[in-house]
Amino acid sequence: MNGRIPLKIVILDRDGVINRDSDDFIKSANEWHPIPGSLEAIARLNHAGYRVVVATNQSGIARGYFTVEALNSIHQKLHDQLARVGGQVDFIGFCPHGPDDACECRKPKPGLFHQIGSRLNVSLRGAPAIGDSLRDLIAASEAGATPILVRSGKGRKTEQSLGNEPGFDTIPVFDDLSEAVDALLT
């Protein structure tokens, strides 16, 4: 087990899974709005003994659309609203780089997942990783996690292309995070 502690962990993408997505980016806490049922789904995971973490690309920082401080405000709103429903996220890992920066942490590369595993000292082997885009699924798979697609956010469009991606045509697909969590907890 490589000295890593076995824990129940779930990795979530943020935009399109937890909160409503926008092609114009979520640039401030005022623009951040949870998808109905997503916060309660995270709380249900917590109550079932899962640690929940977030892995999110945030290239709006590199593009100059918002600052790290604005991102921190968005994440504080996420934490605050989760606390109100009895939930929490243990860690939010984000990639601040742009698509052309050739970093290792921008999904579909698995670097962000490796950072999460290292920071929490856990193995991600088989851990559910829920996303709405092909890059989420690829990063999860490359890191040894189990990719799960939700149709919220960009998920419906992603679902249409799954048959063209070797190895991704049989992954579980759910309408939203709440439905995916229902399946995980049954």
pLDDT, tens digit (0-9, with 9 covering 90-100), for 54-112: 999 999 999 999 999 999 999 999 999 999 999 999 999 999 999 999 999 999 999 99
**Which letter, b or e, does each residue of 123-147 get, where b requires 16 or more Cβ atoms within 10 Å of its Cβ?**
bbeebbbbbbbbbbbbbbbbbbbbb
Active-site annotation holder among 13, 21, 132, 176: 13
In words, the CATH class of domain 9-184 is alpha beta
pLDDT, tens digit (0-9, with 9 covering 90-100), for 145-160: 999 999 999 999 999 9
Domain residue extents for the chain: 9-184
pLDDT, tens digit (0-9, with 9 covering 90-100), for 22-48: 999 999 999 999 999 999 999 999 999
**Which of 117, 113, 114, 115 minimizes the C-alpha distance to 130?**
113
pTM (two decimals): 0.95
Is 15 in the active site? yes
155 membership: H or E segment, kind and range: helix 155-161
